């Protein structure tokens, strides 16, 4: 019986694999032995994944020279013990440690997927250092995937990757959208809107993601504050982890009234339900990879408002599936939000077009098929 090729996915936290790799692992495991490496115990929700093995290595998100060196050699030892044919990293820190360990262990195929650059809006030494890390990742890996063409071109222009060594699978995104999970259901929408109470009859703008500066929260709040001061039929729903105590600033905006036209919901394990409470999805981000939340919102039939940050531009089509605002610009964000309030027909028209685009270009099943095809070609060529 022919030996099955062995693939190792390396992530910093198991949640990354749960959110973006689970369906790919299921598809790949039909032909290959798939292993997963992360920095903590495998969550109960992931124990049904068809993994050939799971291994814990300390991979810290921040920079810790001693721990990072230990992580590299722990990964190298594991790679050599399992005799991987390919290792595939996701996220910057996991990418750096895997690139070094995979090179030292002489793993034949070493792959990294870029899903956003932390250095994109940094300056000086910090930008140089973080960008240099991405160059190391690109240089030591044999194959580079990027989750969007706009991001790939940005990386090429900045000298991080080369045109011939990098590629985008399909139309982009790391995992596409599960169209069964992200499918509009009126009964779910009614239930969530009822939970939000004072949202009935109002146009609900929904943000879903990490609450911090990089995601544009400090532009979204003043833009909505101005809109709420002029209109009574608007509502803002924020969903996600508050990473920078953004909540402490809510009281600074006199027209944002919790329970009346505003709700900070916090974390959710069911984004598909919270998105259904909305009418318009808004992401005024400063930097982004492809923007998975954007196509998830589009799949739910929501038009989107996105900034013109290089990565997220691939996730929407301006004036077709949503409206674009300028990065860091409150005025253009306010105008985009106002456009949907002034012309509700835009909501249904652009939302419908968004769903159709996701069905055509970002079906999660098709993305998994492309990942399997990528590995078939990889191993056939080797």
pLDDT in tens, 99-150: 999 999 999 999 999 998 989 888 999 999 999 999 999 999 999 999 999 9
Q: In percent, how much of the chain has pLDDT > 90? A: 88
Structure-block tokens of residue 66: 């001693």
Residue 2 has pLDDT above 80, yes or no: no
pLDDT digits (tens, 9 = 90+) for 245-255: 999 999 999 99
**How many CB atoms are closer than 10 A to CB 182?**
21
The pLDDT score that the predictor gives to residue 121 is 84
In angstroms, the CA 198 to CA 237 distance is 11
CATH topology of domain 186-361: Rossmann fold (3.40.50)
pLDDT classification of 283: cutoffs 50, 70, 90: very high
pTM of the model: 0.91
The pLDDT score that the predictor gives to residue 248 is 94
Structure-block tokens of residue 133: 């890390």
- Residue with more model confidence, 194 or 168: 168
Instruction: Report how far apart, in Å, the C-alpha atoms of 355 and of each of 92, 245, 259, 282, 358 are.
Output: 31, 34, 30, 16, 5
Residue 272 has pLDDT above 80, yes or no: yes
Q: In what order do the strands lie in the sheet with 33-38?
A: 53-56, 33-38, 6-10, 86-90, 109-114, 143-146, 166-167
Same fold, 6-176+363-381 and 186-361: yes
Which of 1-10, 132-141, 278-287 comes out lowest in average pLDDT? 1-10
In angstroms, the CA 361 to CA 353 distance is 12
Structure-block tokens of residue 253: 């905006």
Residue 198 has pLDDT above 90, yes or no: no
In angstroms, the CA 129 to CA 189 distance is 45
CATH of domain 6-176+363-381: 3.40.50.2000
List Cβ neighbours of 82 (8 Å cut-off, separation of 6 or more).
6, 8, 35, 53
Can you tell me the mean pLDDT for 298-308? 97
Q: In percent, how much of the chain has pLDDT > 70? A: 99
In angstroms, the CA 161 to CA 325 distance is 28
The pLDDT score that the predictor gives to residue 381 is 85
What are the residue ranges spanned by the domains of the chain? Answer: 6-176+363-381, 186-361
The pLDDT score that the predictor gives to residue 306 is 96
The pLDDT score that the predictor gives to residue 288 is 84
The pLDDT score that the predictor gives to residue 199 is 77
In angstroms, the CA 106 to CA 103 distance is 5
Residue 45 has pLDDT above 80, yes or no: yes
Note whether 131 and 160 are within 8 A (CB): yes
Q: Quote the distance between the C-alpha of residue 98 and its chain's center.
A: 20
The pLDDT score that the predictor gives to residue 382 is 72
pLDDT classification of 189: cutoffs 50, 70, 90: very high
Phi-psi region of 301 (alpha: psi -120 to 50; beta: other; left: phi over 0): left
- Residue with more model confidence, 6 or 200: 6
pLDDT digits (tens, 9 = 90+) for 84-95: 999 999 999 999
Structure-block tokens of residue 127: 């930008």
Write 56-62 long-range contacts (CB < 8 A, 24+).
57/10, 57/97, 59/10, 59/11, 59/12, 59/93, 59/94, 59/97, 60/12, 60/93, 61/12, 61/93
What average pLDDT does the structure give for the chain? 94
Residue 330 has pLDDT above 70, yes or no: yes
Helix/strand/coil for 240: coil
Can you tell me the mean pLDDT for 271-299? 93
The pLDDT score that the predictor gives to residue 284 is 96
Residue 63 has pLDDT above 90, yes or no: no
pLDDT classification of 1: cutoffs 50, 70, 90: low
């Amino acid at each position: 019986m022919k030996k099955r090729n062995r693939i190792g996915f390396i992530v910093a936290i198991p949640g990354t694999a749960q959110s973006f790799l689970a369906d790919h692992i299921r598809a790949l495991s039909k032909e290959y032995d798939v292993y997963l490496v992360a920095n903590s115990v495998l969550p109960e929700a992931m124990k049904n994944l068809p993994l050939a093995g799971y291994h814990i290595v300390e991979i810290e998100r921040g920079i810790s020279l001693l721990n990072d060196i230990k992580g590299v050699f722990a990964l190298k030892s594991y790679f050599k013990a399992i005799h991987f044919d390919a290792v595939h990293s996701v996220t910057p820190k996991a990418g750096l440690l895997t690139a070094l360990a995979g090179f030292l262990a002489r793993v034949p195929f070493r792959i990294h997927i870029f899903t956003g650059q932390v250095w994109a809006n940094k300056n000086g030494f910090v930008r140089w250092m973080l960008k240099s890390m991405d160059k190391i990742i690109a240089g030591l890996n044999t194959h580079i995937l990027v989750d969007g063409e706009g991001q790939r071109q940005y990386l090429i222009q900045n000298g991080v990757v080369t045109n011939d060594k990098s590629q985008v699978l399909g139309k982009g995104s790391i995992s596409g959208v599960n169209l069964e999970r992200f499918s509009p259901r009126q009964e779910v929408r009614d239930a969530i809107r009822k939970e939000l109470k004072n949202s009935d009859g109002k146009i609900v703008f929904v943000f879903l993601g990490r609450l911090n500066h990089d995601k544009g929260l400090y532009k979204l709040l003043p833009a909505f504050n101005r809109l709420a001061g002029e209109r009574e039929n608007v509502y803002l729903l924020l969903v996600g982890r508050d990473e920078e105590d953004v909540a402490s600033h809510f009281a600074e905006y006199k027209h944002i009234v919790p329970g009346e036209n505003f709700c900070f919901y916090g974390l959710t394990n069911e984004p598909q339900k919270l998105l259904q409470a909305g009418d318009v999805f808004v992401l005024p981000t400063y930097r982004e990879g492809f923007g998975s939340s954007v196509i998830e919102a589009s799949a739910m039939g929501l038009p989107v408002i996105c900034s013109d940050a290089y990565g997220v531009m691939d996730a929407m089509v301006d004036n077709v599936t949503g409206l674009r605002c300028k990065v860091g610009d409150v005025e253009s964000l306010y105008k985009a939000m106002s456009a949907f309030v002034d012309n509700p027909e835009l909501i249904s028209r652009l939302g419908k077009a968004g769903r159709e685009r996701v069905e055509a270009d970002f079906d999660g099943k098709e993305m998994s098929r492309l990942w399997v095809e990528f590995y078939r070609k990889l191993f056939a060529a080797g």
